[in-house]
Structure 1
Amino acid sequence: MSDRAPIIGITADAEEAGGYSKLPWYALRQNYAGVVAAAGGVPLILPHESALVGRYLDMIDGLMVTGGAFDVDPALFGAETRHASVTLKAGRTDFELAVLKGALDRDMPVLGICGGQQLLAVVLGGTLIQHIPGEVPGALAHEQPNPRTEPGHTVTIRPDTLLARITGQTSAAVNSAHHQAVKAVPDPVVVNAWTDTDGVIEGIEDPTRRFCLGVQWHPEYAIDPADTAIVKAFLEAAASR
């Protein structure tokens, strides 16, 4: 990593009035920012101001698109129906689409986490499974019943991929907090991780870009050595811009 600490833009979640505030508010788990700081980066949380996307991208060296308790609008990947379980946050999605497309246009290092991977897949031309229990026979409990600080299952990592080079592993123990997943991606996007039990896609990457990686799990929890390696490699790519 270079002597200059890379600035990492991190997308926030948004909630309507209630709970923390009587007015709408932003939210982000501390460990998203914490792992960036621990790896030597400067975390910068991005409010959903689409008019400022260009300014944000001028300021940051890498983009982390986070997860959240909501879903990508199925209309964005050409679905004609919406499963009853799908929850939308249109304002957040509109902003994340704009900042993610802008980052990809600049070939800026991108890391998509959980819902962030799903949005990345859609932006790259892919499609999503809207509700795993309804579409995948014999599926694992991808919304794991045990705490998110513990692994829920293992993933197989495809050799000769960016993810394999980063981690040096053929499998990893991961947590699991999602009911949607990537269904398919077009060339040249590569599926780099999956669950052997049900075949659900757990990771994607675009080898035509300097660093464009999505993982379905949450490496910010640092459950497996692969998690720390992913964050470290992302920051190294951002620092070398």
Structure 2
Amino acid sequence: MRKLPLIGLTLDAEQPGGYSKLPWYALRQNYFSSVAEAGGLPIALPHQPELAEAYLDRIDGLLVTGGAFDVDPSLYGGGPAHPTVALKEGRTAFELAMVRGALARNMPILGICGGEQLLAVALGGTLIQHIPDSVPDALAHEQPNPRTEPGHEVAITGGTLLASIVGGTRMAVNSAHHQAVATPGPDAVVNAVAPDGIIEGIESIRHRFALGVQWHPEYAVDRADQRILDGFVVACHG
């Protein structure tokens, strides 16, 4: 039997209240199940930046998950923080250490939603801090309907890694973000765009698999969503 590649998934961090009176980690089950369905062995990664290299020594691929928080604008020269910006500095410090370490090793990376934005920043890109204040007539990127349904479509850029994985030119996607990638970085390209021009996906041109999507393929809203997880896990086989 072929060995299952070990896929590290980053966790979200919550303050005391709800599940526990102490700080706690959280992650939706469909992140793990979608990786398992793709043939990976998912494990959770607690936020210990000093252990990043030890984690990277053991895992075969890194999945950076989303969350209701933002990357510190100081990390990409974004100027003063917009009033809507919410930080989780400990989580970002850990994820940035993991992403930079994975890029240095040419380890496969999949960034989802906020994970895509962090990947763009690690690749030298910049972010839009608040779409409604920056993009006239933008779509509702914080979709009002359930996340299990599509919010809008994206156009897939031909000739990209994403295009080769999904095998089409358009996808229906769910949408849960108020920020977006403004520029992908000098060694990255845009691989998906919303009808209003918002960047919905980026990928590195220097690494074998460093891919980010703004939507949440773990929900399998489009039949091509699982192909993204499948392609990522295949790359993690080496």
TM-score normalised to structure 1 length: 0.97
1:209 aligned residue: 207
Report the residue type matching 1:227 in the other structure: D
1:30 aligned residue: 29
Deviations 1:69-113 (A, max 9, x none): 100001111122110000000000010011111111100000000
Report the residue type matching 1:79 in the other structure: G
Alignment of 1:41-52 (within 5 A): 41-52=40-51
Aligned length: 238
Alpha-carbon distance, 1:159 to partner: 0.5
CA distance in 1, matches of 2:30, 2:49: 25
Alpha-carbon distance, 1:186 to partner: 2.8
CA distance in 1, matches of 2:206, 2:79: 31
CA distance in 1, matches of 2:220, 2:213: 13
Q: Is the 8 A contact 2:141 2:177 kept in 1?
A: yes
1:81 aligned residue: 80
- Consecutive unaligned residues of structure 2, counting only runs of 5 or more, are none
Report the residue type matching 1:202 in the other structure: E
CA distance in 1, matches of 2:219, 2:160: 23
1:69 aligned residue: 68
2:104 aligned residue: 105
CA distance in 2, matches of 1:80, 1:132: 16
The answer to whether 1:182 aligns with 2:177 is no
Secondary structure of residue in 1 paired with 2:182: strand
1:129 aligned residue: 128
CA distance in 1, matches of 2:186, 2:82: 27
Q: Percent identity?
A: 65
Alpha-carbon distance, 1:212 to partner: 0.7
Report the residue type matching 2:65 in the other structure: T
Deviations 1:161-213 (A, max 9, x none): 101000111000000000000001233311010012x1000000012211010
Secondary structure of residue in 1 paired with 2:224: helix
TM-score normalised to structure 2 length: 0.98
RMSD of aligned C-alpha atoms?
0.9
CA distance in 1, matches of 2:14, 2:188: 32
2:54 aligned residue: 55
- Consecutive unaligned residues of structure 1, counting only runs of 5 or more, are none
1:233 aligned residue: 231
Secondary structure of residue in 2 paired with 1:225: coil
